[in-house]
């Protein structure tokens, strides 16, 4: 593989654990989108775009995880332990899936903008 970002696609295999255990493991299947970068030759612009998109995903995770932790602590304070556990598991699973989707969508958008720029330069 020319692009090391494609190795993240193998994390999608963990999503099949949803068939045997917790269905929120299916969130790992979002990582299969990274296999599209197997043949992409990385250059400086590509890695700059990856950094921009990773920053977006990181801040979404940071904000969402704080809300999940606050909700979990409030539920534990009220004695609702089973709900607290469910909120934590579901919240972090969905947050992980959303972060991967935001990262992939942002990177795809920046790649499309780059291609449009290349097409305009050709004419």
Task: Tell me the per-residue pLDDT of 34-50, one tens digit each, with 9 for 90 and over.
Answer: 888 888 888 898 899 99
Task: Give domain limits for the chain.
Answer: 4-122
- Rounded-to-5 percentages of helix, strand, coil across the chain: 85, 0, 15
pLDDT tens-place string over residues 106-118: 998 998 988 887 7
Taking every pair of C-alpha atoms in the chain, what is the biggest distance, in angstroms?
A: 66
What is the per-residue pLDDT for 122? 64
Euclidean distance between CA atoms 9 and 95, whole angstroms = 18
pLDDT tens-place string over residues 21-80: 777 677 778 788 888 888 888 889 889 999 999 999 999 999 999 999 999 999 999 888
Closest residue by Cα to residue 16 from 8, 26, 7: 26
**Helices (H) then strands (E): counts for the chain:** 2, 0
1 pLDDT more than 70: no
């Amino acid at each position: 593989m020319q692009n090391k970002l494609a190795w993240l696609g193998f994390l999608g295999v963990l999503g099949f654990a949803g068939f045997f255990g917790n269905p929120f493991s299916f969130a790992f299947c979002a990582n299969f989108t990274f296999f599209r970068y197997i043949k992409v030759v990385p250059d400086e612009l590509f890695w700059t775009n990856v950094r921009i998109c990773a920053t977006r995903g990181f801040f979404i995770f940071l904000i969402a995880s704080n809300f999940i932790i606050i909700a979990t602590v409030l539920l534990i304070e009220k004695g609702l332990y089973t709900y607290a556990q469910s909120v934590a598991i579901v919240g972090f699973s969905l947050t992980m899936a959303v972060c991967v989707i935001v990262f992939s969508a942002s990177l795809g958008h920046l790649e499309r903008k780059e291609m449009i720029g290349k097409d305009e330069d050709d004419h």
